[in-house]
Amino acid sequence: MSRSARLAPTVTPSLRTLTVALSLSLTLTLGLTACSGPSGVHATPGSAGVGDPYFPKSGNGGYDVTHYDLTLAYTPDTSDASDTPETRDSAAAPTLTATATITARATTPFSTFDLDFQGMKVNSLTVDGKKAPWTRSGQELKVRPPTALRKGRTFKTTVRYSGTPETITDPDGSDEGWLPTADGALALGEPTGSMAWFPGNDHPSDKATYDITITVPKGLQAVSNGELRSETTKGTGAGDARTTYSWHTPQPMATYLATVAIGHYDITRTTTRNGLPVYVAVDPQEAAASRKVLAKLPEIMEWEEYNFGPYPFSSTGAIVDRGGDAGYALETQNRPFFPGAPDTATLVHELAHQWYGDSVTPKTWRDMWLNEGFATYAEWLWAEDHDGDTAQQTFDALYKGTYFDDKADDDAVWAFPPATPTSAAHISDSPVYERGAMVLHKIRRTVGDARFYDIIQGWAATHRHGNANTADFTAYVEKMAPGKDFTEIWKDWLYGNGKPARP
Ligand code: TRP
Ligand code: ZN
C-alpha cells in the first residue's frame, strides 16, 4: 500500500484541485435549503426548532451561540438508590443547582427567542442583566428580552435553575441526558440529552466554546471537556467541604458532545510525544481491566494524526465508568466516554470521532453517517494496519452477509440508505455505521489509496471546527477526484434503497 499520502502534510485541498465537478443535482435536492441559520439550516426566531428533519424541536431560530458558561453544584441523591427519576420525591432537595450564561449573536431581529431546556426548575432569567419574562412548554423555554434585539447584536442570557435533571429516553430507546450512577452522575448528550442539564441551542449546527465549572462534595471528582483550569477545595467541616473543578473548552463544541462525569476516578495526566495533554479518568473498579487498552491511547492518537491529519483539539483522554452506567460509548469532545473498559476497536472508533463528528460536525441528524461511517471505517483501517482483516475483507464479509453472527444483523445493513435513515429511531442503526463505512471503501477503491487519504484529511481540514452535510461531502469528493465517476456510489450505495447489485 502506498503510504505517501498519509505522510504528506495536510495541504489546503482547494489549492490542490481547481476543477469543480458539476454533477451535484442528485445530492443538492436532498440537502436543506440554504438560509440564514448558523450553518445553513433555516428557522425563524421564536420557532420551536431549527428545522432538523429528524428532531424538529431541537435547536432554535434567530441566534447563534458563541459561548456557554455553566456553573453547576451537584450533591448526589443519597436517598433510596432504587429510586428512578420518575419515582423520586419531587419535594426532595435539588441535586443540581446551576447558572448558565449563554452568549449569543442575533442573526435576525427578534422580540422573543427559544432555548431548549427539559425538566428542572427555572428560578430566574435575565437578558443583558435585566429581568426577562419566560414561559415553558415541553422542551421550549421561550424568552422575551426587555427590548427587541436587532440583527448582529451580541446578548447574554443568564438562567438560574435547580432540581434533579431528567434522564431522557431517545426514539431508539437508549437513555441520555442526566444519568445517576452508583457514586455520582453522568451527563451524556447524543442526540438531545444536553437540554436536560443546561438550557441552550441544542442542535449540532450551533457550536460554541464552553466554560464548565462543577462543585461537588469533597472526595468526589468532576471531569468534563477541554482542559482543567483549576481545582479548589473550600470548607473544613466534616460534611461541608466541597471541591470546585473548572474546565475550559476553547474550540467550538456541539451541545451533544458536552459532558460531565461525577464520581470516584483514578486520574492519569500525561502528554503525548508531541506535547498534547492527556487526561484519563477511570472508575477504580474498571482500572485493572482498562489498563492495557488505555496504554495504547497515545499510539492510536499518533496513528490517527498520520491518517486523518492534525488533531483538532488542545487535549485528549478518556472517561471510563462502570459497565451499565450507560448503554453505549460516546465521543464526548476531547475525552470520549466508555461504559466499562473499552476494547481497542472502540477506543479507535471514539477517538476517530474527534476528527469526524466533533470537529467536522453534521449539519443535521440526517447526516449521521458522516460521523459513524467514518468512525467505523477507522476501525477497519486500524485492523488492516495491525495484522487484522483488510478493509476489503471486512467489506466482502458484509456484502456476502457473513460479517455478523446472525442473519438478521447481516440483513439489517441494507435496511435503508446511509444518507437517509428511515426515522429518528434509526439514526444509529447498521446502515449508518457499516454501510456508511462501505461507501468510504467504495470511494477508496475508485480513487486509490493516495487520493483517498488526501480526501479524508482534506475533508477534516476544510470543515475543521465547523459543520457539513452529505451534499458537501459528495461535492468535495468530486472536486478532489476530477474525471472519476461516482454516480453509482452515490445513487446505489449512499442514497439507494436495498442492497446494491454489485459489490
Ligand atoms: N455515537 C456513539 C458511537 O460512538 C453511539 C451513540 C450513542 C449514538 N448515543 C447515540 C448514536 C445516540 C446515535 C444517537 O457510536
Ligand atoms: Zn460512533
**211 with 218: CB under 8 angstroms?**
no
Can you tell me the mean pLDDT for 318-344? 97
Can you tell me the distance from the alpha carbon of 226 to that of 206, in angstroms, rounded to the nearest whole number? 18
For residue 47, what is its C-alpha cell? 420557532
pLDDT over 70 (residue 496): yes
Can you tell me the mean pLDDT for 350-356? 99
> How sure is the predictor about 251, in pLDDT bands with cuts at 50, 70 and 90?
very high
Which residues, 6 or more positions from 415, have their beta carbon under 8 angstroms from its beta carbon? 422, 426, 429, 430, 431
pLDDT tens figures, 164-211 = 999 999 999 999 999 999 999 999 999 999 999 999 999 999 999 999
pLDDT at residue 408, rounded to an integer: 97
pLDDT at residue 24, rounded to an integer: 31
What is the phi/psi pair of residue 476, to 5°?
Answer: -65, -45
> How sure is the predictor about 458, in pLDDT bands with cuts at 50, 70 and 90?
very high
What is the Å distance from ligand 1's center to 394 Cα?
A: 22
Number of H helices, E strands in the chain: 14, 22
pLDDT at residue 16, rounded to an integer: 26
**Whole-prediction pTM:** 0.91
pLDDT at residue 240, rounded to an integer: 87
What is the phi/psi pair of residue 226, to 5°?
Answer: 75, -145
The mean pLDDT of the chain is: 90
Q: Is 434 in the pocket of ligand 1 (CB under 6 A)?
A: no
Choose one of 202, 328, 369 to mutate for the ligand 1 pocket test, by most ligand atoms within 8 angstroms of C-beta: 328
Supply the DSSP symbol for 462: H
pLDDT at residue 84, rounded to an integer: 55
pLDDT at residue 119, rounded to an integer: 97
Helix (H, G, I), strand (E, B) or coil at 68: strand
Helix (H, G, I), strand (E, B) or coil at 262: strand
> How sure is the predictor about 396, in pLDDT bands with cuts at 50, 70 and 90?
very high
> How sure is the predictor about 83, in pLDDT bands with cuts at 50, 70 and 90?
low
**317 with 279: CB under 8 angstroms?**
yes
Choose one of 174, 337, 430 to mutate for the ligand 1 pocket test, by most ligand atoms within 8 angstroms of C-beta: 174
What is the Å distance from ligand 1's center to 428 Cα?
A: 6
> How sure is the predictor about 237, in pLDDT bands with cuts at 50, 70 and 90?
low
pLDDT over 60 (residue 471): yes
pLDDT at residue 34, rounded to an integer: 33
The secondary element (H helix, E strand) that includes residue 181 is: strand 175-181
**215 with 244: CB under 8 angstroms?**
yes
pLDDT tens figures, 38-82 = 444 556 777 778 999 999 999 999 999 999 999 999 998 876 555
How many CA atoms lie less than 13 Å away from 456 in the CB half-sphere?
33
Percent pLDDT > 90 in the chain is: 85
- Domains for the chain: give ranges and CATH numbers: 18-263 (2.60.40.1730), 361-494 (1.10.390.10)
pLDDT at residue 207, rounded to an integer: 98
- As a whole number of Å, the CA-based R_g of the chain is 23
pLDDT at residue 35, rounded to an integer: 40
> How sure is the predictor about 27, in pLDDT bands with cuts at 50, 70 and 90?
very low
Closest residue to atom 13 of ligand 1, CA basis:
428
The sign of the CA dihedral 367, 114, 246, 244 is negative
Backbone conformation region of residue 241, classed left if phi is above 0, alpha if psi is from -120 to 50, else beta: beta
Q: Is 428 in the pocket of ligand 1 (CB under 6 A)?
A: yes
Can you tell me the distance from the alpha carbon of 193 to that of 393, in angstroms, rounded to the nearest whole number? 37
